[in-house]
Chain A
Amino acid sequence: MPRIGMNRKQEKSKDFKGSIKRLFLSLEKWRFLVIFALILAFSSSICAIVAPNILSDLTDEITLGLSPKEDNLKEIITKTTKGLQDQSKFASIPVNPNISSSDKQKFMEVMQKISTASDEEKPKLLFKLPDSVLKEILDPFEVGGITINESDQIEVLRSLSSVKDFKDTDSMLKVVDNLPKKVYKVIKPTLNIDKVKSIALMMALLYLISTAFSYIQSYILATVSNNFAKKLRSSISDKINKLPLKYFDNHETGDVLSRITNDVDTIGMHMNQSLAVLATSITLFLGSIVMMFVTNWIMALTALATSIFGFVGMFIILSKSQKYFSNRQKQLGELNGYIEENYSGHTVVKAYNGDKLALDEFDRINKKLYVSNKKSQFLSGIMQPMMMFVGNFGYVAVCIVGALLTMNDLTTFGTIVAFMIYIRLFTNPLSQIAQAMTMLQSTAAASERVFEFLDEKEQTKEENVKHLDKSKVKGEIEFKHVKFGYDKNRTIIKDFNAKAHPGEKIAIVGPTGAGKTTMVNLLMKFYDIVDGDILIDGVSTKSLTRENIHDLFVMVLQDTWLFDGTIAENIKFNKKNVTDEMVWDALKTVGVDHFVKTLPGGIHSVIEDDSTVSLGQKQLLTIARGMIEDAPFLILDEATSNVDTRTEELVQTAMDKLTEGRTSFIIAHRLSTIKNADLILVMNEGNIIETGNHEELLKQNGFYAELYNSQFESFENS
């Protein structure tokens, strides 16, 4: 059961309508399923709305079984009293041998009184006649198919005689309950059980249909929303491969990741929940209003009035509370950030005796959070009771108004029962609609972020395609007047000319942050150059596809990138037809075969985070991956920081082997590499500032010379 307003940031989309529309359109073939599901939701709600009306009929049918058959009772009474007044039989009483003389005596007394009594008192006097006399006077008659004989009639008379006031319900009920069985049978309220059965059956059917529909609808939406989420994830993943690298310079990894997971999840989950809820709730809400007015407009007005009164109060609270929710969210974020920072920097906190300060600051933020926590929890906590009160309030009002109407015969009791359900159907959806709308809001916001990513400009399409065959390439590269900048406004490489002959070694040096990876980016055509040309074996890279260029290069970078899989999988990577033997060969060449053999699974061991494989070994594995790839050019980042010295040596030998027979571009960190290079590109602040070999550059006595000498500076000083 989702809660209102808690935990989730209230996200506002920029263009709610547009985003929802686009979201709907991108559902493609699933659109029809969604519409079908919504129709089911609608139908299911209609069933739920119609049902109370039938329940009302059922109740009325049952109430019919509560009141006695007054017509029959009246008939019995009138027929009996009529029989009494049949004077013709009076004459034969005194001579009737079946009547005792004392009874005859009593008869005579009554007759005397009657002669002087008023018409009204006459029947009451007659009731006092002895049974034997009455038996003679009365005749059996038939009511409702049942013969009421003399003695039954006598009992009715006796019971009626005890009633003082015929208008008193309670005493009347008692009399009725005490009537002779045979008579009671005639006036007993009868329940038309067959009718009850058929009504109940209809309701059961309605409810069953409603249940089935709502399940099918949920099932469909779960299917669609998950498939849709899957599709979105795939598109984002595909999109990553199509975007120019430039995009990732300006966007953090976490940002793209959160689109794949959080945003898509939000869309999937919320679409699943909110669509059905919206369809159902709106139908229930409007439907119950209509049904209420159709059933009884006075009670409908009562229900509406009381509920609106309640809802207004609720919305005031809800809108006021929004501020506290976002406050709470903000402060929670602040506190979490503070905790994270202090825990991660624990050693520094300790070493600098910053713990007291940290605790004070923590206490301050913690207390602030406490205040907004209390407020927001309170506000969200009373939503439920408020809703319940609105429901109860409406319930009571409807009951009372309904009762009053029923008493004045303006409506039936069944209507009250129906309204008791309508009130529930009517109050619940409103808060659900509000909830679903906030969900839709965040869905829209999430989909905007997803679509924004999917709409990013992709890499330029490549035309005029030539193809260089890997096996035939000699390995010559020429830079001709290359001009390049990451920004249009800032050119960092102005006019770069250089030529590398097959098998030569080109070292790229410069301080950290000098832009050494720029060279990698240009060579691999990760970025397009602004002007000039880069030629491979005399062919412009502009006329080659990226795939073709990538195919010609082996690339080993400093950040050892391995994916979550076995060693063999990582070394084979995407290349087919690589046997395990070739993997072992590569491992041997870089010198990690021993290590791999010690692992329980050999080359099929899974590389897990930091545990089994050290950073240096990872670097060796990436080199082995490069070894497998046979290509004329090599790009190599030498950096071996954080690798222990023995491994470092291994890595360096492996790297040297890798350069054999290839035209190599090396981001150099070792003096030995730099000195042996055929060409050194010195970079600073993004730009290539000096070129030449070691000796030439030292002679220039420029930046390179300074850089080179600085390594020994400290030693000279001492």
Chain B
Amino acid sequence: MIKLFKNFNKKEGLLFVLCILLVSFGVWLDLKMPDYMSEVTVLVQTSGSKMSDILEQGFYMMLCAFGSLISAIIVGYLASYLSAVFSRNVRYKIFKKVEDMGVADIKQFSIRSLITRTTNDVTQIEMLIAMGLQMMVRAPIMVVWAIIKIINKNIEWTLLTGAGVILLLATVITLLLIVFPRFAKVQKLFDKINGVARENLTGIRVIRAFNAEEFQKNRFEEVNSDLTSMQMFNQRCFAILNPVINFVMHFLTLGIYFIGAYLIMDAYFISDKIELFSNMVVFTSYGMQVIMSFLMLAMIFMMWPRAQVSARRINEVLDSDILIHDGDFDGDTEVSGEVEFKNVSFKYPDADEYLLKNISFKAKKGETIAFIGSTGSGKSTLINLVPRFYDATEGEVIVDGVNVKEYKQSALRNKIGYVSQKAIMFTGSVKDNVAYGDNGKEHPSDEKVKEAIKVAQGEDFVLKMNKKYDSHIARGGTNVSGGQKQRLSIARAIARDPEIYIFDDSFSALDYKTDSILRRELKNYTKDATSMIVAQRIGTIMNADKIIVLDKGECVGVGTHKQLLKNCDVYKEIALSQLSKEELDNA
């Protein structure tokens, strides 16, 4: 936490100190008020006091209240400023860090977790600063100061206040000990009930088809009961808190007065009695302040651990090492469209097993090179080495005659048009999505965008959308189908005019017909570009110039469709599973 606060600069540090001073001032004023009240009490109790004296004390009290308000408003302003600055800066830092991360770095955290770290965790600490700063500073000062004020007045009253504080704290702590672990369980049960309900919704056809409504209902009810009883227990426990707080406050006042009565009775001199009386009235105010401050402290202790966890999670991101570093080659090569793998092996930094073993091949300008193999054979990993999402553990990946590690990342990626496995859409228009990014050249023109969409077989559906190329794509692309998304993301690569296309299983959501037309059009449109295609379907790749068959990270066959059918068993197996023998022969 402290480490995160170092994100504040000098000016903000000074403001923080100012906050502390102002809060102290406010506390001083708040505690001064009962003193004036005590004066008033004495004045009232002794006959013959002047009205103007009382009004004077009242004026001072008002001044205190007002001063305290002003200081609180200033502190409130400073706290909101500090918290907003903090969250803005930290959020920016995290976002930048994540943008700089490589794919492997992100895998370490998982995307979900990075999102919560950038959003919720930052908000959590922001809240602590905004709400807590005042409390955190105020409560300890108030506690100490108020205790000093009362401790000299009377031992019995002080003891009574102490007992009240202890009772309160004991209640709060016991509650936390009992209930806190259960909060985590409630959260889990919430996830579980969400899970079962989601199951019911996603599997609604299956459930009905199996007449399993009753079965699912029982499953739901089980979690529902667990959740209800757990939550009920927690809330019943918490039900005690308010009554106890009120009980302590009321009995403190009553107790002070009751003890006061005895003290006054026992005091010998009348002047002593009057002093005791005025002290008694004032003491109730101080006692209340002490108890309130302890409550505030307890609240901070409740907030602190959560914020602490968030702080740790944020620091983990900010402190993580980035695996991939920029080279300094600006990408100006003589040859273009060449990709070469030289004895490339790859494993994740912490893993024992290699995902790719000793892969070598070369793709020349204008060639189409395809990769096929079962899940986990390493084909996606392989082509992800080209745009340097990962670095090869051993061997060299060479683009246009230069090792990818020597390129500036942006220069390398300017050569590449990458289409990911899962089509990714950004909020914005169709045009924005296709013209996305920066390729070191001019931004794609409208014509270029239209052309790219046409080649990617997206013209039909884009023209059917209400605003055509300016139609809005919703967050996550929820308003277009999977196949449409895939076509748009292919168009995005085309609009980039790259030397090298990388298709990471990018045709899977297309039906055979669209798939084949798209590839034919693409081939015509990008004669000079090199294509690297990962696919599941034989039909997608069987006309590639070179097919590389992968199995468990090793290259088990290289050649054309026809060659491989003859000499590669793995390939033959894959082909046979998809097309009948006669079809393959006919083809």
Contact = CB atoms under 8 A, between A and B. Distances in A.
Interface string A197-219: 00010011001101110110011
A555 interface: yes
Interface stretch (A59-67, A446-454, A591-599): A59-67
B270 A403 contact: no
Contacts of A555: 205-206, 209-210
B251 to A, nearest CB: 6
A399 B58 contact: yes
Nearest to A648: B577
Nearest to B102: A350
A241 B483 CA distance: 31
Interface string B404-418: 000001100110101
A561 interface: yes
A172 to B, nearest CB: 9
Interface in B173-220: 190, 192-217, 219-220
Contacts of A370: 84-85, 87-88
A389 B68 contact: yes
B512 A574 contact: no
A219 B236 CA distance: 5
Interface in A249-296: 253, 256-257, 260-261, 265, 268, 272
B87 to A, nearest CB: 7
Contact of B438 (A177, A190, A352): A352
Contacts of A222: 232, 235-236, 238-239
A51, A345, A384, A413 — which one has the most chain B CB atoms within 10 A of its CB?
A345
Given A339-B118, A413-B45, A65 B98 contact: no
Given A403-B54, A512-B511, A714 B539 contact: yes
Contact of A413 (B44, B384, B436): B44
B332 interface: no
Interface string A343-358: 1111111111111111
Contacts of A226: 228, 231-232, 235
B92 interface: yes
B437 A353 contact: yes
A351 B201 contact: no
Contact of A219 (B61, B239, B483): B239
B415 to A, nearest CB: 11
A450 B246 CA distance: 36
Interface residues of B, number: 177
A346 B79 contact: no
Given A343-B111, A399-B40, A374 B84 contact: yes
A303 interface: no
A341 B512 contact: no
Interface string A381-398: 110111011001101100
A51 B106 CA distance: 62
B57, B247, B274, B573 — which one has the most chain A CB atoms within 10 A of its CB?
B247
A574 B231 contact: no
B48 A240 contact: no
Nearest to A396: B61
Given A211-B250, A214-B243, 11 more contacts: A51-B250, A176-B270, A208-B247, A229-B228, A237-B200, A357-B438, A370-B88, A403-B58, A547-B211, A555-B210, A671-B579
Contacts, number: 474
Given A210-B246, A347-B103, A643-B375, A66 B274 contact: yes
A26 interface: no
B513 to A, nearest CB: 4
In the complex, the 8 A-B pairs of residues with the closest C-beta atoms, listed nearest first: A352-B437, A385-B72, A218-B239, A644-B374, A574-B215, A377-B80, A400-B58, A644-B375
Contact of B508 (A524, A642, A706): A642
A162 interface: no
B242 A218 contact: yes
A413 to B, nearest CB: 6
B291 to A, nearest CB: 13
Interface string B468-493: 00000001100001110000010010
A520 interface: yes
B243 A218 contact: yes
Nearest to A709: B513
Contacts of B54: 400, 403-404, 407
A335 B65 CA distance: 40
A393 B193 CA distance: 50
5 contacts: A260-B193, A351-B413, A370-B84, A520-B205, A717-B520
Interface stretch (A85-93, A136-144, A360-368, A655-663): A360-368
Contacts of A512: 481-483, 509-511
Given A359-B99, A377-B83, A710-B516, A347 B389 contact: yes
B439 interface: yes
B225 interface: yes
A385 B73 contact: yes
A122 to B, nearest CB: 28
Nearest to B496: A352
Contact of A710 (B131, B227, B512): B512
A211 B577 contact: no
A706 B513 contact: yes
B277 A214 contact: no
Interface in A219-251: 219, 221-223, 225-227, 229-230, 233-234, 237-238, 240-241, 245, 248
B402 interface: no
B69 interface: yes
Contacts of B49: 407
Contacts of B221: 234, 237
Contact of A200 (B254, B409, B482, B520): B254
A340 interface: yes
Contacts of A211: 243-244, 246-247, 250
Contacts of A347: 103, 384, 389, 418, 420, 424
A339 B221 CA distance: 37
B88 A369 contact: yes
A289 B482 CA distance: 65
Given A211-B246, A389-B69, A550-B211, A203 B198 contact: no
Contacts of B84: 370-371, 373-374, 377
Nearest to A168: B48
A349 B65 contact: no
B277 A62 contact: yes
A189 B44 contact: no
A63 B45 contact: yes
A641 B228 contact: no
Interface in B68-92: 68-69, 72-73, 76-77, 79-81, 83-85, 87-88, 91-92
Contact of B44 (A173, A406, A546, A711): A406
A561 B201 CA distance: 11
A253 B201 CA distance: 6
B587 interface: yes
B80, B207, B542 — which one has the most chain A CB atoms within 10 A of its CB?
B80
Given A66-B277, A400-B54, A233 B193 contact: yes
B48 A59 contact: no
A642 B228 contact: no
B577 A62 contact: no
Contacts of B196: 563-564
Contacts of A207: 247, 250-251, 254
